[in-house]
């Protein structure tokens, strides 16, 4: 690590459980962020600021005026600009020390599997079930940890799925219990800071996974009720009949 990096990241390096090795792990890491909207904005900005060495941003959408209420990586000058390009510009102003790759496409099939396999952690910041389910399958296939978040109205939820650990559930195990819901902010609304609360937690869980510190939310579903100002934690069982994580074995 260079002197400038030691200075830039000094407030993290001084944490005894994180230390020099934690920072080096972040600098060496490649993180795939799928969706650069409400959740993806704080995830990308905090991981960039914290010094994750290589961020791969995926989003096929352009910035819309109605996005600015919550998607804080973008600004008024970014209307109609691809979200990956707008976020990459902001990140380069925040931290020119890290590498950013942009994929302005809807990732699917072999291209998705390839990107997931290259990543140390995948952060799911999308709002549609098809992409969520295929990301989950790709993560399980390549044994890549997945940090999943969702936000709607005044509520949010978060969970980490880690295929490297035995007997842990996957996103499909969770989705089985909530199968009736394909809810989007466009149809249901969301209060601005909720995506910040959940996205920031996703960034934190990602850093913990990369640096190997603390207790990651594997096998747990954390739910935030913004109106009550309360977090709740639920145990998330592995489904014996799950077709993705194969709980039968």
Binder of Zn ion out of 50, 52, 172, 209 (CB under 5 A): 172
Q: Which stretch binds Zn ion (CB under 5 A): 20-28, 36-44, 193-201, 234-242?
A: 234-242
Residue 139 binds Zn ion, judged by CB under 5 A: no
Residue with tokens 């109106």: 227
Residue 55 binds Zn ion, judged by CB under 5 A: no
CA-atom Rg of the chain in angstroms: 17
The helix (H) or strand (E) run that includes residue 203 is helix 192-211
Beta bridge partners of 31: 55, 121
Q: Are strands 54-58 and 220-225 parallel, antiparallel or unpaired?
A: unpaired
Residue 170 binds Zn ion, judged by CB under 5 A: yes
Binder of Zn ion out of 56, 63, 102, 173 (CB under 5 A): 173
Residue 138 binds Zn ion, judged by CB under 5 A: no
Residue 242 binds Zn ion, judged by CB under 5 A: yes
Q: Which residues are catalytic?
A: 185
Determine what percent of the chain falls in helix, strand and coil, rounding each to the nearest 5: 40, 20, 40
Residue 245 binds Zn ion, judged by CB under 5 A: yes
Q: Which of 74, 15, 57, 68 is nearest to 204 (CA)?
A: 15
Q: Which stretch binds Zn ion (CB under 5 A): 71-79, 148-156, 157-165, 240-248?
A: 240-248
Q: Which residues bind Zn ion (CB under 5 A)?
A: 170, 172-173, 242, 244-245
């Amino acid at each position: 690590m260079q002197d400038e990096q030691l200075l830039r990241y000094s407030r993290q390096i001084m944490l005894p459980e994180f230390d020099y090795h934690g920072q080096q792990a972040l600098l060496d890491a490649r993180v795939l962020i799928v969706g650069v909207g409400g959740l993806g904005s704080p995830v990308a900005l905090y991981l960039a600021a914290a010094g994750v060495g290589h961020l791969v941003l995926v989003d096929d959408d352009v910035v819309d005026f109605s996005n600015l209420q919550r998607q804080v990586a973008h600004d008024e000058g970014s209307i109609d600009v691809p979200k990956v390009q707008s976020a990459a510009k902001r990140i380069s102003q925040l931290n020119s020390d890290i590498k950013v790759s942009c994929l302005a496409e809807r990732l699917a099939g072999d291209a998705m599997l390839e990107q997931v396999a290259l990543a140390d952690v995948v952060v799911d910041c999308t709002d549609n079930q098809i992409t969520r389910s295929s990301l989950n399958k790709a993560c399980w296939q390549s044994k890549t940890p997945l940090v999943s978040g969702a936000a709607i109205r005044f509520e949010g939820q978060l969970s980490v799925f880690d295929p490297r650990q035995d007997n842990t559930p996957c996103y499909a195990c969770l989705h089985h219990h909530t199968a009736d819901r394909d809810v989007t902010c466009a149809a249901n609304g969301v209060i601005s800071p909720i995506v910040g609360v959940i996205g920031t937690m996703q960034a934190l869980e990602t850093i913990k996974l990369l640096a190997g510190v603390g207790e990651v939310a594997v096998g747990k579903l954390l739910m935030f009720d913004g109106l009550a100002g309360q977090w709740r934690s639920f145990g998330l069982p592995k489904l014996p009949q799950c077709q993705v994580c194969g709980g039968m074995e």
